[in-house]
Structure 1
Amino acid sequence: MEARVGSVGVLVLLTVAALLSGCAEAAGKGIPALFVFGDSTVDTGNQNYITSVIKSNYPPYGKDFNPPGPTGRFCNGKVANDFLADFLEIPRPVNYLAPEAKGSRVLTGVNFASSGSGYLDITGALFGVLNLTRQLDNFGIVKKEIISQIGEESTDKLLRESIYLISTGSNDFVNSYNLNPILQAKFTPAAYETLLLGTIDTNLKTLYDYGARRVFIDSLSPLGCVPEQLVLAGSKDGSCIEKVNVPVKSFNVGLQATLASIRQQRPDYDLSYVNVYDPLLEAITQPEKLGFKFGNTACCGEGPFKGLPCVNPISDVCDNADDYVFWDLFHPTERTYDILSSNIIKGSGLFVSPMNLEQMIAKKP
């Protein structure tokens, strides 16, 4: 009799556990983690732990964050990966270099991004940043940490079902090639593009080998339209600098072809191209259409178009950052990131292809 009661009790407990597990999976979007790689467009504080001149750990950065204050984001508030994590209803990825990036905290995602970095190892090297190669190496370290906690089979499942965001490449152009006569002498623009795309091909295949299957990769933005470039070119009317944008547009075409090639080689690799260029160009050139007042002038900075660095306490800071496409000389405002992240989440094929985030979630990996 006692044995029978015990069996029934075990059965009840197992049933309750199964129901609770089912409720847990039903809650949220069913995505276990978000892993982020890239530069200052997605860095949420790794740079705070690096000896580098590239910092945003001072006011007025973060003035509209919750709670207000600098976090290491080059923004007045949230960046795109914050919006993605909030949509997925999972914790925002912990910064890889932060002391709390250990134990169960890494199971819901890690941010490896480093401001000033790029696809190439040489980009940002003088500033001590973590290039994409290093970021991927660090992802490998985190994978081992996850295996030590939940085992190889569960780790493979977690990594396969997670979402990955890569946002980088701008520094490879504006802070490396465009300002480096040695690189320009060694590589024609076409050869440099080939070098970048070959590096991307290698990086994405490395990420695949680690277990990633669901990746969003940002295009380059219209770099010739950002306040910094307008100042460097001595723009008088704020028109975009086409000689900067031409190689960017060519790179974006090449990036789409590279992703298509990898997808063909690895049919189970869901690589989605995120078109940042066109929606940001529209916001810059037609700000009123999207509810902005200022397209090519930053909220915080100095000089024409506020295209010089945002430095406390000397820089002029706008009252309402939501009126501006750009927060500082190079980086968008929180409101702009909200628009761009919405394109990733539910945008049409004009903004993200072949799948947006909602569609990728609906497709089982």
Structure 2
Amino acid sequence: MGKFHTSTILFVCLIQVSFFFISARSSSGKKVPAIIVFGDSSVDSGNNNFIPTIARSNFEPYGRDFFGGFPTGRFSNGRIPPDFISEALGLKPFVPAYLDPSYNISDFAVGVCFASAGTGYDNATSNVADVIPLWKEVEYYKEYQKKLRSHLGTDKANEIIREALYLVSAGTNDFLENYYTLPERQLEFTIEEYEDFIIGLADKFLRGLYDLGARKVSLTGVPPMGCLPLERSINILDYHGCVEEYNNVALEFNGKLGQLVKKLNKELLGFQLVDANAYDFILQIITQPSHFGFEDARVGCCGTGRFEMGFLCDPNSPFTCPDANKYVFWDAFHPSAKTSQLVSNYLIHTHLSKFL
């Protein structure tokens, strides 16, 4: 155990040092002129604030460790992965939500988020909480392209579109909020068939991005979703351990995503699609939290940490922890800002360095 502990700490330190030098180098070079984000709550910086849905987090205690200490709509106590990645690339320290009227096209020219908490590749998933479906995120992106060309001119805008790093993170809600919760898809597909159905939708989505000019894309699959506090809280028969069935599905699905990445890179000329799979690293954080400076990976910081997320994270809850940095998870579904930073640094060091 001691040997494992030492190697883990050294690896984390290496990532942190690399993160510092990457930031310094990117500040002067800026090979990536902008960050463009699609997906779900893992990367949504606040678009759901501006649509009629219950899937929101624009209230305390969310955002208490963000700049200024106010809630932004991020499902976190602070920043989320696109923010950390943007900063590491020498861009802004956060990526604004496209629907936020306090930002304009000059802000979005270096970073923009179209993601919507609660969405997935499957349109039926976005219907669960009436959030923005992935196809609508693409429509907003098309609108953004027009605004960008009007603002910067066609040549400059096309250069940004071509050289930007696109972050795509989705899939978890398709399984946990749709397939395993509602009967429709279970009646239509086995879990293996549903995985293939989602892969087909991801294929179509990524080809669509390519056709719109995207060339550098980071594709993140699903985390060890059986280890989310919400799933562990209801896993009574297994003494609140991780739900291995869900983790096995995550592994299988991520493997299929990896095959899709190879296929599209082979078929689409000039496409640089990266399989930014962080499953193993996240599982390592969850199973060995003390090695990363955490005290608890079983529950989230907010409330009792077992089932609270969104509006159930009561700002007046006496149970919300005083220091989110001690927790792997912020609420019952989403990582703390510290975890997001660790995962972002890991992805930059292991998967995204080719874009630097």
C-alpha distance in 2, partners of 1:132/1:110? 15
- Name the aligned partner's letter for residue 69 of structure 1: F
Match of 2:320 among 311, 317, 320: 317
C-alpha distance in 2, partners of 1:194/1:252? 11
Alpha-carbon shift at residue 285 of structure 1 (Å): 1.1
Cross-structure match for 2:75: 74
C-alpha distance in 2, partners of 1:337/1:103? 27
* Conserved 8 A contact 1:300-1:315: no
C-alpha distance in 2, partners of 1:182/1:26? 49
The structure with the largest alpha-carbon Rg is 1
Alpha-carbon shift at residue 106 of structure 1 (Å): 2.4
Match of 2:344 among 331, 337, 341: 341
Q: Which moved more, 1:326-335 or 1:275-284?
A: 275-284
Which structure 2 residues correspond to residues 202-217 of structure 1 after superposition, within 5 A? 202-217=204-219
Cross-structure match for 2:38: 37
Alpha-carbon shift at residue 270 of structure 1 (Å): 0.7
Cross-structure match for 2:160: 158
The gaps in structure 2 that reach 5 residues or longer are 1-25
Matched, 1:116 2:111: no
Cross-structure match for 2:175: 173
Alpha-carbon shift at residue 126 of structure 1 (Å): 3.7
TM-score (norm 1): 0.86
Cross-structure match for 1:219: 221
Match of 2:132 among 127, 130, 133: 130
Residues 205/101 of structure 1: CA separation in 2 closer, same or farther (3 Å cut): farther
Aligned-residue Cα RMSD (Å) equals: 1.7
- Name the aligned partner's letter for residue 146 of structure 1: L
Alpha-carbon shift at residue 173 of structure 1 (Å): 0.4
Alpha-carbon shift at residue 235 of structure 1 (Å): 5.4
Matched, 1:230 2:259: no
Q: Deviations over 1:180-224 (max 9, x none)?
A: 122101111111011100000000010011111111111200000
Q: Which moved more, 1:152-161 or 1:134-143?
A: 152-161
Q: Deviations over 1:103-152 (max 9, x none)?
A: 32221121001111111111121422111111011111111111222333
Q: 1 or 2 for the larger relative contact order (CA 8 Å, sep ≥6)?
A: 2
- Name the aligned partner's letter for residue 187 of structure 1: F
Match of 1:276 among 272, 275, 278: 278
Alpha-carbon shift at residue 248 of structure 1 (Å): 1.3
* Conserved 8 A contact 1:298-1:306: yes
Which structure 2 residues correspond to residues 276-315 of structure 1 after superposition, within 5 A? 276-302=278-304, 306-309=306-309, 310-314=313-317
C-alpha distance in 2, partners of 1:101/1:316? 35
* Conserved 8 A contact 1:285-1:296: no
Percent identity, please: 35
Alpha-carbon shift at residue 68 of structure 1 (Å): 0.6
Q: Which moved more, 1:125-134 or 1:68-77?
A: 125-134
- Name the aligned partner's letter for residue 48 of structure 2: Q
Cross-structure match for 2:184: 182
Cross-structure match for 2:354: 359
Alpha-carbon shift at residue 76 of structure 1 (Å): 0.7
* Conserved 8 A contact 1:221-1:280: yes
Cross-structure match for 2:51: 50
Q: Which moved more, 1:200-209 or 1:150-159?
A: 150-159
Cross-structure match for 1:22: none
Alpha-carbon shift at residue 271 of structure 1 (Å): 0.7
> In structure 2, the residue corresponding to 1:281 is in which secondary structure?
helix
Q: Deviations over 1:43-85 (max 9, x none)?
A: 1111111111111111111111121121111111111111011
Q: Deviations over 1:253-282 (max 9, x none)?
A: 000001110000014111111122111111
Cross-structure match for 1:326: 329
- Name the aligned partner's letter for residue 110 of structure 1: V
Q: Deviations over 1:154-176 (max 9, x none)?
A: 22211111111011111000000
C-alpha distance in 1, partners of 2:294/2:246? 24
C-alpha distance in 2, partners of 1:52/1:184? 25
C-alpha distance in 1, partners of 2:58/2:129? 16
C-alpha distance in 2, partners of 1:235/1:41? 29
- Name the aligned partner's letter for residue 306 of structure 2: K
C-alpha distance in 2, partners of 1:113/1:316? 30
Aligned length: 327
> In structure 2, the residue corresponding to 1:176 is in which secondary structure?
helix
